[in-house]
Amino acid sequence: MITTETLDVTTIEPRLKHPTIFQHFDALKPGESFVIHNDHDPKPLYYQLLGERGAIFKWEYMEQGPTSWLVKITLNSSGATDDAETVGAIAAKDYRKAEVFKKLGIDFCCGGEKSLKEASVEAGISEEKLKEELEQANTVTTSASQDYNNWKIDFLADFISNTHHQYIRESSTVITGLASKVAQHHGAQHPELWSVNKKVEALMGDLLDHISKEDQVLFPAIKDLVNGKKEQDSSVETIIKAMHEDHDHTGEDLRELRTLTDDYKLPPEACNSYTYLFEKLKEFENDTFKHIHLENNILFPKAIHLETQS
């Protein structure tokens, strides 16, 4: 009988935690698993394994807090990338495939840690059909400017800051103003617009705080790592863990906005501002998904990998 060993990470000395887990991982034969037990969400380890070993394993939560986390880690049966490759990893390698996920309404950024099988259920299509669509994406011509996975990470951090962060700063004022105006004009007939207004205010406030932390703390720390400087008092991995929590929260807010607006469905009497608000919110969602994808699936795992090497 094959038994799955449980590694209690809470009893391991901090500096030995990751090396010990990697030793266990490297000892796995194809198809074998081990379980890690921890007293907090070991999500950073997921990204570290992804960065250092590639998408050759399956990550399954068996228990998720509040005081105990159990995660089963299984080496793919072929020992190589196969169906267990996550949506986030597929999108990171090839943005043309991210476009397929986007088209099918599959969350590849905040909820990227899922298999193709799970994603096909989310999209309401068969796994075969999803694979077919992904295959077709291979025929789409791509440009070097979309090859984010091969960019240097300090350049990627600058790119995110100068495009996506700047976009949030510019559009947040416009969208917040519109949401307030539309709620005041149409809130009587469509009371959900008051909730949309409140949600938009909270989302924009949280995101502005979030990008400030990235621009002022995380991205400079990543650049220091690239330049061979390591701050003694800050761990990039710890900051990234907090950023992941923010991203999950943003994903939830965007999903709630879709629910509140019935997927941004406009009533027949919608005026220009009402229409413009929904168009801007859809554009904002689109930009935010790409932004979080670049961080969660490419920048963060590579930064953690670099930190553990230095």
Q: Residue 102 CB, nearest distance to Fe ion (Å)?
A: 18
The tokens describing 296, both together, are 């969660």
| Alpha helices (H) in the chain, listed in sequence order | 14-26, 43-53, 87-93, 95-103, 116-123, 127-137, 153-160, 166-186, 192-213, 219-226, 236-260, 272-293, 300-309
CB nearer to Fe ion: give 120 or 288: 288
Q: Which residues pair with 301 in a beta bridge?
A: none
CB nearer to Fe ion: give 22 or 159: 159
Q: How far is 107 from 88, CA to CA, in rounded Å?
A: 9
Cβ pair 155, 140 in contact under 8 A: no
* Residues at the contact surface with Fe ion, assessed by CB under 5 A: 214, 295
The crossing angle, in degrees rounded to 10, of helices 300-309 and 236-260 is: 170
Q: Is 294 exposed, middle or buried (0-12, 13-18, 19+ CB in 10 A)?
A: buried
Q: Which residues pair with 6 in a beta bridge?
A: 35
Q: Residue 203 CB, nearest distance to Fe ion (Å)?
A: 13
Q: Residue 214 CB, nearest distance to Fe ion (Å)?
A: 5
Q: Residue 206 CB, nearest distance to Fe ion (Å)?
A: 11
| Residue 94: count of CB within 10 angstroms of its CB | 19
CB nearer to Fe ion: give 6 or 163: 163
Q: Residue 242 CB, nearest distance to Fe ion (Å)?
A: 10
Residues whose CB is less than 8 angstroms from the CB of residue 191 and which lie 6 or more positions away in sequence, other chains included: none
Q: Tell me which residue has tokens 């990543």.
A: 222
Q: Residue 140 CB, nearest distance to Fe ion (Å)?
A: 26
CB nearer to Fe ion: give 7 or 299: 299
Cβ pair 9, 3 in contact under 8 A: no
Q: Residue 36 CB, nearest distance to Fe ion (Å)?
A: 26
Q: Torsions phi, psi of 198, nearest 5?
A: -65, -45
CB nearer to Fe ion: give 214 or 253: 214
CB nearer to Fe ion: give 32 or 237: 237
CB nearer to Fe ion: give 36 or 207: 207
Q: How far is 273 from 268, CA to CA, in rounded Å?
A: 13
